[in-house]
Structure 1
């Protein structure tokens, strides 16, 4: 028997839907176990299988099939197939506890059903050399077509056919003709980009005199050296005339201004005074003689500074600096400075709503009341613009574990002024509370505003 067993070896394969997915040849006799444990001969992660189950045992130079009452399968013995239930009922398999053991001959072969579509097949075969590749039966041999997902292959083939057909149609079709647009047909937005607006440069205006003199200048001069003195004289005369014209225009502009108006009212003497004031007198005229004809005007001298009497032909009086007293009931109103109207308002705060015991409500109220002046300034700033501004602002914010304020929202604002709400948010954002809660604490704080007067 030993020599017979050595001539043939046990072949075990794993079937799924009738296809062999794994195969083992037990060249060295020994037990063949299946289960979820990694030490088994064949690892199968099936929940109904134990950690390790010996399907084939090798004892006394002979293999035995081991199965339990729940397992199903069939074994070919001699010329007939016998299932596990018949083996148990006829006593052909020896019972060992809750397992049954069936000794196997070299002609035995069969199938053991494991779970669902998985099953084990076994048979004894002649061992082949390790260099030779064993061949499976034709009906069990796999191939490219059998191992391919036919549904996926069909979808892939249809998609490629559709894409190649569309690409061939696009390549074969002629591109549409693009009409050439003129500048008048372009939309305005393209016209502004393509044709930027050019700023017209100011062109110098050519006077008739220059136009008349242009042909003359183009004529060749016979002797430049002879015409050079004449040109210099002409230039000097033109400059003198231009200076005289500017002087006359200046005299005309200032003739009616202040003292020059008085000077200009005395006839020919005034003309000399203008000449002296403007610095254009060449005759050495005296300013005293120029002012001699002005009524009510005298020239202050050293002898007359202290006296109060008439001077000149008019009724004027010369007053010294000491005579310029402040007598008289006249008062000069320099204008009163603008005073800003004082506007004040009242701010009252109700009890806050605190949603955590980590923050003391009374301590929070004292902290906020000590800083109500900043909230009041926000209100009074807008109260100057709208004296009837009053109402309630409910601010909802959160106290972070660091003591800083988190999200700040204006939940209610009956003032109708967004500026006050924005200012309050800015003030509260700068606060650092003396509380260090473990988590973010939401707080709702109401403020009531009303004018003070």
Structure 2
């Protein structure tokens, strides 16, 4: 046995103009059907004679009712008779409810409601369409996944994927380039310092045995030729006194033109040379040159070597270390530490120029004066380089409705220093003012810089 819902009918409503169906609705779910100018209506019609919303069909007690008023015209086919709205009103076939009339509709009823001169609304009850009865497009017109795709986009995507995967395959298949081996000379210094740290110095160990072995057995002057031919110097002796005197004279002539003896004027005449000028002529340069003529080298005296050969000139003595040496005379010398010279400057600000009543001029001046330390820092940084730097900088900026600083411009700069102006622009850009003007407010503010002291 079939259920009652399978035999029930649904209301079909259509809008007709000049014999053409403009719009059609099937009320699959029972409910009211309203028309009017309100967008919430079931059918929106911009007609001046209709109210904002009028329920033409209302669903009450599992039945549809036709609702109309005295100004509306139309006809209804009740199955047994075809009557108009005037007959329904006069014969009492429609129930009056205020200024409206309500007519219960059976499933066999159908009719026509005139909304305007050329606009009509027709209704009838029809069977609900089954799933198999739904209209379908022909197979040629039915869309699919392939037909819904964008052909151009799909072609570009395929070409891009092919290009990228081909490049990746070529890179993977190719052999990596050989890495050249760099020699130590070709390495940069920063790598050389890391790879080859300096060799730490070996601790010097001096013992009495090594000191005695390193010390010379005889206290004789050394020359540069002593390492190459020590035996020739010790064994060769002048054959006579004249040959020894000639050799000494030749050595004195060679030595006098080099090093300290040349400066002291050992080869000079009777004037004594530079040394005579320094000492004021009290001591002749010739005597000093004669005293230094026999110095052939410099030797290191150790306690062991002195103890082995004995002190010269009789008596007893020993070699003193640096720690055993004392000083006398002058006071304590304080080397101190390097200190940076303190430079300070003064910044004075005049009354700002404000072109709007939304910003209090005095409050703005107090706000900026509280932040003059940052402006003073910009000036003192350049004052260290130029102690005579002074002048005036006029800054023009704007206060935005958010309180932030807008466009900043250096209108005047008599300092002649762009670094100070750039620093001031950076400081002003970070200010957030307590004002919230309705529109952008331009402000001009002068800063006067002078050195302090």
What range describes the TM-score normalised by the shorter chain of this pair? Answer: 0.3 to 0.5
**TM-score, length basis structure 2:** 0.41
TM-score by length of structure 1 reads 0.41
